[in-house]
Structure 1
Amino acid sequence: MNRFLKQSLAAALITAAGISAALAHGFTVGELKIGHPWAKPTVAGATVGGGYLKVTNEGKTDDRLVSVTTDRAPMAQLHEMKIENDVMKMREVEGGIAIPAGQTVELKPGGLHVMFMNLPQPFVEGEKIKAKLTFEKAGPVEVEFVVQKPKADDAMGDHSEHAKP
């Protein structure tokens, strides 16, 4: 392989690694690994927004995500969306979200998620929303939700269309 081709390949790999690192971000508290917290952009006047992430419990003891707080929303709740008898139902998860030992729990559109409520201003694509996740055993951890558009398969559970009355 000639020198120019090697240099081009090396530059492409470095760029790809940088993009991958920028898209994937994670946080750790105790035995819990929090992978890529993200939130959907919201429209002007929206009063709620959705937040998503993965939590992997690498320990031998079950834990539980019990709360989320942020300065960007006066209230944040742990929610579940599901379809019952052909009707979409959304409700706050009482007692938090279980994170069983040795397992990964994903908060994603159309299922478990964080509901940011009473938003004073929209979430704008590209910004980072600082938040604190609190776990029953591992304790608190500061994270950042990257505001980004959802992938095509993440369309369910979009709260960005909810506007103020």
Structure 2
Amino acid sequence: MNRALISAAALLLLAACNSGERAPEPGAPTVTVADALCRPTPRGRQTTGCYMTLTASGPDRLISVESPEANIVQIHESRMESNMMMMQQLRDGLPLAAGQAAVLAPGGNHLMLLGVKEPLAAGDTVTLKLTFETAAPVEVTAAVAQPAASEYDQAAAH
């Protein structure tokens, strides 16, 4: 009887120690991340954008992002509507096509850090944990710097 109790207690302890992360399904796609970058926070603001390139080996979806540096991270899209740039959260996540680079960049799809806990300055880093529908989560360290001028930035300057 004691062995049964000890075994049951050990199983409960192991279950309690589980991190809650699911193991990737066999044959699940993998996602690689390149060029992760977050803008410095503007003075007096607690929001900023982050950019990167995601490439999935099979069809998948970026469903959520977390960061210890911000209260909330949202997946956003920017698009022109009635000659105005509009931004909105992608509540269903960002679809990733197999083998095609999904570029998150200024003026397009991007991540928004909301409630940034400490100002971010050039040279800092931001830890981002990306969670996908089927691929294993990926932790990324993004540099804090200004992104290269994009077509959107150049159009906004004129």
The TM tier, using the shorter chain, reads 0.7 to 0.9
Superposed CA offset, 1:29-78 (max 9, x none): 95221112100112221121000000112x2x310001110011000000
1:134: Cα distance to partner?
0.5
Which residue does 1:141 correspond to in 2? 138
1:56 equivalent in alignment to 2:55: yes
What SS does structure 2 have at the residue aligned with 1:149?
coil
| Distance in 2 (alpha carbons) for counterparts of 1:102 and 1:95 | 21
Shift of the 138–144 alpha-carbon distance from structure 1 to 2, 3 Å rule, reads: same
Equivalent residues in 2 for 1:12-161 (5 A)? 31-57=30-56, 59=57, 61-153=58-150, 156=153
The amino acid across from 2:55 in the alignment is T
CA contact (8 A) 1:77 1:114 kept: yes
Shift of 1:150: 1.7
**What letter is aligned with 2:112?**
M
Q: Under a length normalisation based on structure 1, what TM-score does the superposition of the two structures give? A: 0.71
Distance 1:141 1:94, change over 3 A: same
In 2: Cα distance, 1:147 partner to 1:86 partner: 30
Structure 2: tracts of 5 or more residues without a match: 1-27, 154-158
Which amino acid letter does the alignment assign opposite residue 63 of structure 2?
Answer: V
**AA aligned opposite 1:148:** A
* Distance in structure 2 (CA, Å) of the matches to 1:152 and 1:36: 15
Give me the CA root mean square deviation.
1.7
* TM-score between both structures, scaled by the size of structure 2: 0.74
CA distance in 1, matches of 2:83, 2:151: 19
SS of the residue 1:44 aligns to: coil
1:139 partner SS: coil
Q: Which runs of 5+ in 1 are unaligned?
A: 1-28, 157-165
The percent of aligned pairs where both chains have the same amino acid is 34
8 Å Cα contact 1:65/1:136 also seen in 2: yes
Shift of 1:112: 0.2
Q: How many residues align?
A: 126
Hey, what's the Cα distance between the residues in 2 that align with 1:48 and 1:101?
31
SS at 1:36's partner residue? strand
What letter corresponds to residue 127 of structure 2 in structure 1? Answer: K
In the aligned structure 2, how far is the partner of 1:49 from the partner of 1:43?
8
The answer (yes or no) to whether the contact 2:61–2:93 under 8 Å persists in 1 is yes
